[in-house]
Amino acid sequence: MICFYLVGITSFLSLWAVKGISVYDVLANFFFYSFLGWIYESTLVSVRKRTLTNRGFLNGPIIPIYGFAATFIYMAFYNEYAISLTGEVNALHISEVFFFGMVIASILEYITSYLMEKFFHAKWWDYSNYPLNIKGRISLPSSLFWGLLSTVMVYLIQPAVNNLLLQIPRPLGDYVLIAAVAAGSCDLILTVAVTLKLNKKLEVLERLREEVFEYTMGLKWYERREELKGRLTHSKVGEFAEELLGLVNKSYEKHLQRKVSEDSMERRKIRIDIEQRIKKFMELYNKSGNTHLQKSIYKRMFKAFPNMKMVGKEGVFADFKDKIKKTSNRKKK
């Protein structure tokens, strides 16, 4: 979400250099296309998943990346210095709109993905399975789609939007935009705060799990340590504890079979200590509760982004999602 602020600030600063475009027009277009983008994505995902889905990072009915991309295109083609391309439709003009829209929207999508991953340590979408993708953040099919969407916007949607805005009394439009900015800001602050809290919660759990694992592996009872670590890192919390405990018991039993008695007592104490550490880890995990509001936001977020990944916390995140889902299912029953 940091990029939304950065892009937003850049947009408003550039407004003063573009005569003929008011803050009112830009805000109206931003919220209109953010809402239109939300309708499109929510409908698409709902049809695919066969369940109603509120798509987007925010809880409200807007997806800002659509608003920012459309606003940039609006600023480029609707001011007194640039020629409105709707006046003369030809192959060259269409190509210009398509290319400009494709590039701008793809850059915004890449920056958004990068900053959200750095800020929240999460990947919200992944185009790795798409052809000609760049680090899974953007891909050729998605970029071509942005170009097509930009063309439809300039030639079909924007003229209608301009006419619609002219029909709305200015005082009413001002009040609506003030309310939209206030609601959007509150939504942004709340969603960012809850998402950061999730990240902190997962960091604590991952650190606890790492400490238990490092202590156990430090005993040098095991071979292929890194291979084992990779397998356990991506396992869920319950699976991790169960598998690690099983490895401890297996290693201890092998030791007893070798009939080495001089350090059997010491190994038995260590085994008990490991069992207690794993038990404490599970108790701390189970105590990590969430408020009703947090659960609602997490539930909506996980449903909106089913392929969301928390970088470096895959195991605890998968388990956390299951926990939220089970809580929701119990309430339904």
Inter-residue contact 248 to 271 (CB < 8 Å): yes
The pLDDT score that the predictor gives to residue 13 is 47
3-class secondary-structure state, position 223: coil
The pLDDT score that the predictor gives to residue 221 is 55
Inter-residue contact 78 to 84 (CB < 8 Å): yes
How large is the average pLDDT for residues 112-136?
89
The pLDDT score that the predictor gives to residue 85 is 52
Pairwise CA distance, residues 119 & 57, whole Å: 13
pTM for this model (two decimals): 0.78
How large is the average pLDDT for residues 307-318?
81
**Per DSSP, what are the bridge partners of residue 123?**
309
Tell me the pLDDT tens digit for each residue of 137-166. 999 999 999 999 998 888 888 888 888 988
The enclosing H or E element of 309 equals strand 309-310
Tell me the pLDDT tens digit for each residue of 271-305. 777 777 777 777 776 666 677 888 889 989 988 89
How large is the average pLDDT for residues 160-173?
90
The pLDDT score that the predictor gives to residue 119 is 87
Tell me the pLDDT tens digit for each residue of 3-61. 444 455 455 445 444 556 788 888 899 999 999 999 999 999 899 888 899 998 999 99
Q: Residue 219: pLDDT band by 50, 70, 90 thresholds?
A: low
Return the higher-pLDDT residue of 18 and 310.
Answer: 310
Highest mean pLDDT among 229-238, 266-275, 313-322: 313-322
The pLDDT score that the predictor gives to residue 149 is 92
Give Cβ neighbours of residue 197 (< 8 Å, ≥ 6 apart).
294
Tell me the pLDDT tens digit for each residue of 50-78. 889 999 899 999 999 999 889 888 887 76
The domain locations on the chain are 2-167, 201-332
Q: Is 260 exposed, middle or buried (0-12, 13-18, 19+ CB in 10 A)?
A: exposed
The pLDDT score that the predictor gives to residue 245 is 72
Instruction: Give the tokens for residue 309.
Output: 């990944």
How large is the average pLDDT for residues 171-178?
93
